[in-house]
Structure 1
Amino acid sequence: MNQAIDWKRNFFILWGGQFMAIAGLTVLVPLLPFYMEELGVKTMQSNQLWSGISLAAPAVSSAIASPFWGKLGDRFGRKLMVVRALFGLSACLFLMAIVTSPLQFLFVRLFQGAFGGVVDASSAFAGSEAPKEQRGKALGSLQGAVAAGSLSGPLLGGIFIDLYGFRPLLMVMGVLTGIGAIAAWFLLTERNSSKNKVHFEKAKDSIFQTFADLLSHPRTRGFIIVGFAANLAVFGLVTPLAPLVEKIAKSPDYAATWIGFLQAALWTATLLSSPWWGKQNDRSKVERNYMIATAICGISVILQACSANVPALFAFRVLQGLTFSALIQSVMLVVVQASTDYNRGARIGATNSLLVCGQIVGSLTGALITGIFKPEIAFLFMGIIFIGSALLLLRGFTISRVFLFRVNKR
């Protein structure tokens, strides 16, 4: 009974911390091209280049740092990693508010990736502390925290930025994220912390071996590949969104507000559907759920490229949110299922490292396509990536079922 109470309290703290962290980041990300203008970037091509590089920067440093943080969490406790990630992000939000050039902003984003990582730290904690039969639900509900933060950030941030500017808002979010870090430090309880040292002594694998083990297993390899594709596609949509809205909106002067509402539509749908997908993953095949969700998600992105007005774009963003919510949580659940208490943090960190490589490729690809062609082409390309990943997972799922049937028959 006490364990159930502890988990509920832990969950609410994790959810709140993750909500504040994501809200602090998403007030800026979809409006990044506008902030680049404030930092002195003048031309469309330069703006797209700096925006793409800045979006990719934390993914680069996170890809390097995540496996090390995960392994440290396995040894010294995963609560410490949650606190570290929240404090790191809080410091970065303050620094983002005071930078005066795109280069300074880029360095802060690199720092953010190296010392942040709230989502994977929370996932590792939840994967170890949540009841085994509810891990899908726990990861799905934490995905809901990402959605809630991503909803609140652009919705309130777009309006706030139009009225007051970027810098005051970043300061406020830095303070709130710091409060979340303090709450995690004092209130999170880690039931398995006493076992970490014993478990770590059993885990002799190097970080390189952790990557090799994940990629040598057909199921985890398949999900990591499609998760990479999902991150590539969704981050490839970030920089094309602002110019697409400016192009089709009847009042371009209020494009920031429109983008806020469009992002709110996306993340409201994600917030509502994330726990449902998590429950479905506890009840049925994760592969089937993932294939259905990513195929529909790809169709919705292609339809956004064909939108002639903001209401149509709004509707298709809702459909994207209802289905994208299933993707990354499913990848993490498969990795959690394939892990043990002594290597779960390292494996989640390694998985996150591989997934954020998709963010790097997606951010740069989206910015490049938008700069050379037009935003509609970027949306079409990313929609095809989503659908292609569904077909790839279907092929792997079919092959594995045929193989198991032959083995059982023998």
Structure 2
Amino acid sequence: MQHWKLNLIVLWFGQFLVMSGMTMIIPFLPLYIQEFGVTNPDDAAVWAGIIFAANFLTAFLFQPLWGKVADMYGRKLMILRSGFGMAIVMTLMGFSTAPWHLLLLRLLNGMISGFMPAATSLVSANTPKEHMGFAMGLLQSGAIAGTIMGPFIGGLMAEWIGFRAIFYITGTLLFAATLVAWIFLREDFNKKRAMASSSLSIAAGYKQLRRIPQLPALFGVTFMIQFSLLSSMPLLPLFVQELQGDAERIALYAGLVGSVTGLSNMLASPILGRLGDRIGSERILKISLFGAAITYVPQIFVENIWQLLAARFFFGMFVGGLIPSVNSLIRNHTPEGMEGRAFSFNTSFLALGNMVGPTLGGIVAVWLSIRGVFAIGAVMLLLNAWWVHQKLRAHPPHSHNLNETRP
């Protein structure tokens, strides 16, 4: 088997396990916190929100550092560092006896994370250009599959084996997946080129990448995508309650609404990625942004749960073309030897969107209702499509030569 295909298979499973491990705590996190003596449901909910968001905060801050290290010493090393580190931290969460223990461990988990950008960078650097879109789409589907299955697996395991054992099992699986990556991953890493870029600080590296007009635009697109997607996510159970009015089935329907977008996303990502290899990732990104905006609009006007499910399914199909296309375009416009930093900066913008989106979405919902949040999301995606068209049209693809970007 060609190395790039073997890498893709190994990292697909790695992405799946990392994302499922990160999200499987969602169904039982407030209940786990209550075991520490936090009996007030409101207090448990506040702790759960802070603990869940803590990971994104430190990930946003530390991703550029790991991107620089990846460019200096290789992406495989960063995958192993992140994988083994998260396996240890996840296992330690099972030994927590107070909410602040979990908070510190989630902060630490964000600090040492970096599996996804390192995996994306390794795949992008070792995959033939004609297969780049397909590879990015398939890699994205692994992350989405983990995001979908994580809460479902976590809920089942909580019923069968209890909360603490879930952390032990997840840590063990992450360790095993990283061990497989250690054995089977192959990376073509140019040490001479790495030495040429190793002297740049994080700030200097960002300044150098910023001179390539397409990259700041793509980083901004990533933020706006996550912002528009996550702004409505925490509000969906309340919207389902408004539509359904049947208290006994709200949790079931809220779960379906939350997962149907991820399901169609997972199915569409490899297909749109392969299509991007034929007609260009830039065109797929524009089509996906426009399609996501159009399919966001019906969610404003739905009157029953089935209409919402249908709208979210088609919305997820277009979302499946967004992140893979952005990743492919970042690779196309990033100088050789700086891929790790470029993808890490992009991940920082993604984490920022994950933090800011739900916060502002809740504020907007108070002023304009949940339907108003959908309307703003649709407008932001349309603006995104226009921005991509303006920024990427105005500049030709950048040459992949590190020295050309030096002052």
Which TM-score bucket, shorter chain as reference? 0.7 to 0.9
Match of 2:288 among 282, 285, 293: 293
Alpha-carbon distance in 2 for matches of 1:233, 1:22: 20
Contact 2:223 2:350 in 1 (8 A): yes
Counterpart CA distance in 1 for 2:39 and 2:369 is: 19
Structure 1 match to 2:209: 214
Structure 2 contact 28–163 (Cα < 8 Å) conserved? no
Question: Within the alignment, does 1:189 sit opposite 2:205 as a pair?
Answer: no
Is 2:191 the counterpart of 1:200?
A: no
* C-alpha contact (below 8 Å) 2:28/2:154 kept by paired residues: no
The number of residues matched between the two structures is 394
Please point out which of 141, 146, 157 is paired with 2:138. Answer: 141
The whole-number CA distance in structure 2 between the counterparts of 1:302 and 1:296 is: 10
Map of 1:16 onto structure 2: 13
- Map of 2:386 onto structure 1: 391
- CA distance, structure 2, for counterparts of residue 334 and residue 235 of structure 1: 23
For residue 350 of structure 1, the aligned residue among 323, 326, 345 is 345
Cα shift at 1:122: 0.5
**Aligned partner letter, 1:283:** R
Quick check: 1:244 aligned with 2:239? yes
What are the Cα deviations for residues 194-242 of structure 1, in whole angstroms up to 9, with x where unaligned?
x23x122211432212212332322222222111100112222332223
Q: Secondary structure at the match of 1:205?
A: coil
Separation of aligned partners in 2, 1:380 and 1:101: 40
1:115 maps to 112
1:7 is aligned to 2:1:
no
User: Are 1:65 and 2:62 counterparts?
Assistant: yes
Query: Are 1:297 and 1:323, in contact at CA under 8 Å, matched by a contact in 2?
Result: yes
Counterpart in the other structure of 2:174: 177
Between the aligned partners of 1:303 and 1:121, the Cα distance in structure 2 is 37
Which structure 2 residue ranges, 5 or more long, are not aligned?
Answer: 397-407
Q: Is the contact made by 1:33 and 1:239 (CA closer than 8 Å) also made in structure 2?
A: no
Deviations 1:113-172 (A, max 9, x none): 111222111001111111232222211110111122122223444455567665443443
Write the mapping of 1:306-385 to structure 2, written as runs, cut at 5 A: 306-370=301-365, 374-385=369-380
Q: CA RMSD in A?
A: 3.0
Match of 1:89 in 2: 86
Matches of 1:257 and 1:112, distance apart in 2: 30
1:161–1:317 CA distance, 2 compared to 1 (3 A): farther
Q: 1:20 deviation in Å?
A: 0.9
Q: Greater CA deviation, 244-253 or 148-157?
A: 244-253
1:227-266 counterparts in 2 under 5 A? Answer: 227-266=222-261
**What TM-score results when the alignment is normalised by the length of structure 2?**
0.85
Instruction: Supply the AA of the counterpart residue of 1:346.
Output: R
Instruction: For residue 90 of structure 1, give the secondary structure of its aligned residue in structure 2.
Output: helix
Alpha-carbon distance between aligned partners in 1 of 2:78 and 2:126, rounded to the nearest angstrom: 14
- Distance (whole Å) between structure 1 residues aligned to residue 44 and residue 376 of structure 2: 21
Q: Percent identity?
A: 27
Paired residue secondary structure (2:186): coil
Q: Does structure 2 retain, via aligned residues, the 8 Å contact 1:269–1:322?
A: yes
